Chains A and B, each alone.
Chain A
Amino acid sequence: AQSVTQLGSHVSVSEGALVLLRCNYSSSVPPYLFWYVQYPNQGLQLLLKYTTGATLVKGINGFEAEFKKSETSFHLTKPSAHMSDAAEYFCAVSEAGGYNKLIFGAGTRLAVHP
């Protein structure tokens, strides 16, 4: 069975500081990995994804993540936080191939302070 663990339910950074949101996954088959963002009272929006190929993937709004198979991790980073980055971030995993569902982590709420 697949699972996702997001370390830290709340992360607080200063504007301009590095953002690091941690995600570890468990999967017995090659995974597809995703980060979604949820702003208040909105649905989820895909930030970036890893399916195959390059392990460092870039997404929208300056975010990027690196798939590290040996560490079963897919941490999300952004060099410089903006106030507008404050939101809930979800890491998700699915099985490569087929039409399988996404399994989401519990989420990390990012607060950005001036």
Chain B
Amino acid sequence: DAGVTQSPTHLIKTRGQQVTLRCSPKSGHDTVSWYQQALGQGPQFIFQYYEEEERQRGNFPDRFSGHQFPNYSSELNVNALLLGDSALYLCASSLLTGVNTGELFFGEGSRLTVL
């Protein structure tokens, strides 16, 4: 049983560009949460998707957007990249009922470097 898979694992972009990160949740999971982990920091909640809708959003600008597909996979899009967007982006999957009981399964992340 595959766990949470994220792609790409590493990527480099320049300021002003756009990026799309992808996540396939663990089999059986219906909820995907995205977190940003800057160097030396803990993960910061970006948003959460369930039933193809954004259910919750953290304190991130509208440049950060997402999507969830019928097969529960998800994308994170970031427009107009800034240097400060350089971070590890983590996808976490769960059942909706497991979101706040810690039953999150994390992928290994996509490391974005903005030059």
Interface pairs (8), CB distance under 8 Å: A32-B100, A32-B102, A43-B107, A44-B104, A51-B101, A94-B101, A99-B97, A104-B35
Mark B residues whose CB is within 8 Å of A. 4, 31, 33, 35, 40-45, 48, 50, 55-56, 58, 90, 92, 96-97, 99-109
| B68 CB, min distance to chain A CBs, angstroms | 15
The yes or no answer to A87 lying at the interface (CB within 8 A) is no
Which A-chain residue is minimally distant from B43 (CB atoms)?
Answer: A104
Residues of A within 8 A of B4 (CB): 43
Chain A 76-107 per-residue mask, 1 if CB under 8 angstroms from chain B, else 0: 00000000000000101011111111111111
How many residues of chain A have a CB within 8 Å of chain B? 28
| B14 CB, min distance to chain A CBs, angstroms | 24
Please tell me if the beta carbons of B41 and A44 are within 8 angstroms of each other in the complex.
Answer: no
Which A-chain residue is minimally distant from B58 (CB atoms)?
Answer: A101
Please tell me if the beta carbons of A101 and B40 are within 8 angstroms of each other in the complex.
Answer: no
| A10 CB, min distance to chain B CBs, angstroms | 11
Give me the 10 closest cross-chain CB pairs, A-B, nearest first.
A43-B106, A104-B42, A94-B100, A49-B102, A101-B45, A44-B106, A34-B102, A99-B99, A100-B100, A43-B108
Provide the bound-state CA to CA distance between A100 and B101, in Å: 9
Please tell me if the beta carbons of B42 and A46 are within 8 angstroms of each other in the complex.
Answer: no
